Amino acid sequence: MVDRRPLIAGNWKMNGTRAEADALCTALLEKLATRDAHRFEMLVCPPSTLCAHVALMVGDTPLRLGAQDCHAREKGSHTGDISAPMLADLGCDYVILGHSERRTDHGESDDHIRAKTESAFSARLVAIVCLGETETERDEGKTLNVIAGQIAGSLPDGITAGNTVIAYEPVWAIGTGRAAAPEEVQEVHAHIRDCLASRFGEDCAQGIRILYGGSMKPANARTLLALPDVDGGLIGGASLIADDFWAIAESVPE
């Protein structure tokens, strides 16, 4: 049995002031201090405006810090962008890449995401690479092919269990309150692991954590987190409420 330590990751998206970040992180740090910090890993991914601020709060506590995106280049003339080495310099350990909101809002292609992932590796950030089908693709029975294509296109060579986490986020489940059914989630997660095994080898595939994201809430987390190929969650809305985010983390199977 491979030990994949569950990762409970909060994607704050474009939400949060410094005062709100203070309140949320303070509550999470208090809760983490009362728990066996080894049962799961907890990560917050604030907007980039708050990364430096949150970095000072989390310091060397068990709460980890991630960003929501990075540019593919190390530095240069890219107004408004932030590079992976800059995030690492702030104290980020992780970066979310290829979220469907970025694929849609910013036209990010698999090629862009692959380049960003390589850049994250160079900066020693762990890349959380997001995959997921639209509702139309699911209705047309294309889900598994879409996911295989995103794996082929978005992941560079050289991925390991140490530098990459996959997040399966069906686009139709994000922010809708309509999470995928457990059997749909397990089917796609097992498929992702098979695709990883054929390209990167069985050991790599067995070690890589695959998160589910899309309306994960305290009410459905226990069922989703108990699925054999679900190794944690990427949580949007519920990660902004400390009690809800904590309740999800506490749903990780003992």
Task: Give how many residues touch ligand PGA by CB under 6 A.
Answer: 13
- The neighbouring-strand residues paired with 127 are 95, 164
Task: Please classify residue 19 by burial: count the beta carbons closer than 10 Å to its beta carbon, then call 0-12 exposed, 13-18 middle and 19+ buried.
Answer: exposed
Site for ligand PGA, residues 184 to 213, rule: CB under 6 A = 213
Residue number, 7 or 200, with CB nearest to ligand PGA: 7
CB of 146 to ligand PGA, least distance (A): 17
For the window 145-174, what string marks contact with ligand PGA as x by the rule CB under 6 A? ------------------------x----x
Min dist CB 36 to ligand PGA, Å, is: 25
Task: Please identify the residue of the shown chain whose CB is closest to the bound ligand PGA.
Answer: 236
Active site residue 99: yes
Torsion over CA of 36, 38, 40 and 44, rounded to 10 degrees? 90
The reply to whether 135 belongs to the active site is no
Indicate the residue among 98 and 214 with the shorter CB distance to ligand PGA. 214
Q: Closest approach of Cβ 199 to ligand PGA, in Å? A: 24
Out of 7, 11, 32, 171, the only residue in the binding site for ligand PGA (CB under 6 A) is: 11
216 part of the interface to ligand PGA, by CB under 6 A? yes
What is the CB-side half-sphere exposure of residue 130 using CA atoms within 13 A? Answer: 30
Site string for ligand PGA, 232-251 (x = CB under 6 A): --xxxxx-------------
Q: Within a 13 Å sphere around the CA of 122, how many CA atoms are in the beta-carbon half?
A: 17
133 binds ligand PGA (CB under 6 A): no
Q: Which stretch binds ligand PGA (CB under 6 A): 49-57, 102-110, 116-124, 228-236?
A: 228-236
- Is the Cβ–Cβ distance between 58 and 26 less than 8 Å? no
Q: Is-contact 61 31, C-beta < 8 A?
A: no
Q: How many CB atoms lie within 10 A of CB 161?
A: 18
Given the residues 71, 99, 112, 189, select the one marked as catalytic.
99
Q: Which is nearer to ligand PGA, 92 or 238 (CB)?
A: 238
Among 83, 215, 220, 251, binds ligand PGA (CB under 6 A): 215
Contacting residues toward ligand PGA, per CB under 6 A: 11, 169, 174-175, 213-216, 234-238
Q: What residues are labeled active site?
A: 99, 169
